[in-house]
Amino acid sequence: MSFVSEPAFDADDGSDEVELLLAQCLERAPQERSARLDELCSRHPTHSGELRRRWELLASMGLVEPAPADVDQFPAELGDFALLRRLGGGGMGVVFLARQRSLNREVALKLIRADQLYFPRARERFRREAEAVARLAHPGVVPIHQVGEERGVPFYAMEHVAGATLAKLLEALGGRAPDTLQGADLLAALRRELGDDFAPPPGSLFEASWTDACVRIARDVADALEHSHERGVLHRDIKPSNVMLTRDGRARLIDFGLTLLEGDSAQTRTGAQLGTLPYMAPEQVRGERVLDGRVDVYGLGVTLYELLALQLPFRGADAVQLQSAILEGRPPSLRARNRRVGAELETVCMVAIERDVSRRYASAALLRDDLEHLLARQPIRARAAGPFVRTLRFAERRPGLVAALAAGLLVAVATPTAFLLREQAHAGELGAALEKERAARGEAERERALRERDATPVP
């Protein structure tokens, strides 16, 4: 199933890409935003003027520096909902714990950020996110209860799930050696995050080994992704901060803010990037227009690698170096970073983050099935890249060395071959001469015999 990417910027003025760049600034802590603004202006000189103009507009309204808005301030109520506390948020939306008065239940209420209300594209992405989640009915996706708008602020209410994102849990486990971890360490980190000494049900992933716990998380997400892909929803931003782990040890997919719906008629120019760079598939990095479920498979593969190794597979000193590393597609050995990772688990992970989309898992279902096979201790279907593929990729990385080796090999092969041919020619000439000499001797013998016979007197 293929999808045509949503517009990343308008055909005339690039306004939507400016909105995305602005959102990247707003995602940073207030003290980091100015530096981020300078960095993005330097990287995107064609949009730097408009980006700074919009930043100044927000600053004049008191929403960003020099008088930044306090993102923890929020109204006491919004329609039927009493807002209790802020749960989290990003560049486009913010999520609150709220009580829905009419049904007397707690919900997670997501609102579009106040500073995004001025951008029509942001409203459209917010609407698309709500529509995407409303299409889905899967235990691995947090369901939507209600969608609406109050006082000009779009919102939707979701089931409130007690848990923490994998990003938070990985942060809590930072600095640990991954081969010393167990599922119980994940439970301890989740308890600290929730401030609750809860007891998970028997048989949860918290009782498993670290590798099995990671595989179970990835399996749950892969199953949710297959459900969403079947219903025409491409997530496009799979990463630890968009996966929540609940008290009962289930992984649930959240934040469809960059989702793409099948059948969207909007198109984007080649070169537009949407996603979070360390988890973006090579085709996303290249800005390809037509994408499919394999971009989500890739993001999940990177997430699984990070869970198992407590490190990302690709790094770079800056965005340009990171992009190059992703496109080159040579992740360090996972087993070298965690000795408890078996060969088959490493193969599954490497196939999921394969740079060549034709060699990657063709669907989330195939990845899910191999993860199930790992848990059942059954053979997987994926196969690691063979010697032929590895040789081709070495040639791509070191063309000069390969050319020199090829020339050397040619000399090494050609030189003895030339000597052999010369020897064979010489042997042929010698053989012909010997044969000629034998023939001459034979003729001489016959002539001598005839002379002797003629010389013998007849009685």
pLDDT of residue 322: 94
pLDDT tens profile 345-375: 999 999 999 999 999 999 999 999 999 999 9
What is the distance between the alpha carbons of residues 399 and 423, in angstroms, rounded to a whole number?
Answer: 36
pLDDT of residue 9: 37
Residue 205 has pLDDT above 90, yes or no: yes
pLDDT tens profile 163-194: 999 999 999 998 899 999 999 999 999 999 99
| Rg over CA atoms, the chain | 34
3-state secondary structure of 433: helix
Terminal-residue alpha carbon distance, the chain = 111
pLDDT of residue 320: 92
pLDDT tens profile 315-349: 998 899 999 999 999 999 999 999 999 999 999 99
pTM of the predicted model as reported, rounded to 2 decimal places: 0.72
pLDDT of residue 271: 46
Residues 212, 343: contact at Cβ < 8 Å? no
- Which residue in the list 223, 237, 296, 369 is annotated as catalytic? 237
pLDDT of residue 338: 97
Residues 100, 80: contact at Cβ < 8 Å? yes
Residue 458's pLDDT band (cuts 50, 70, 90) = low
pLDDT tens profile 100-146: 999 999 999 998 877 676 677 778 888 888 888 888 999 999 999 99
Residue 220's pLDDT band (cuts 50, 70, 90) = very high
pLDDT of residue 34: 77
pLDDT of residue 388: 43
Residue 279 has pLDDT above 90, yes or no: yes
Residue 71 has pLDDT above 60, yes or no: no
What is the distance between the alpha carbons of residues 379 and 394, in angstroms, rounded to a whole number?
Answer: 29
Closest Cα partner for 158 from 261, 275, 253, 26?
253
Residue 4's pLDDT band (cuts 50, 70, 90) = low
Residue 68's pLDDT band (cuts 50, 70, 90) = very low
Maximum average pLDDT range among 233-247, 393-407, 440-454: 233-247
**What are the angstrom distances between the C-alpha of 422 and each of 116, 359, 414, 419, 434?**
81, 48, 12, 5, 18
Which of 6-15, 60-69, 422-431 bottoms out in mean pLDDT, i.e. has the lowest? 6-15
% of the chain with per-residue pLDDT over 70: 80
Residues 239, 279: contact at Cβ < 8 Å? yes
> Is 237 one of the catalytic residues?
yes
How crowded is residue 127: how many other Cβ atoms within 10 Å of its Cβ? 15
pLDDT of residue 342: 96
User: Once rounded to an integer, what is the mean pLDDT over residues 36-62?
Assistant: 77
Maximum average pLDDT range among 78-87, 325-334, 397-406: 325-334
Q: Tell me the average pLDDT of the chain.
A: 83
Maximum average pLDDT range among 87-96, 212-221, 403-412: 212-221
Cis peptide before 75 (omega within 30 of 0): no
pLDDT of residue 67: 33
Which of 41-45, 206-210, 356-360, 392-396 bottoms out in mean pLDDT, i.e. has the lowest? 392-396
Closest Cα partner for 304 from 373, 372, 371?
371
For the chain, helix (H) and strand (E) counts, in that order, are: 15, 13
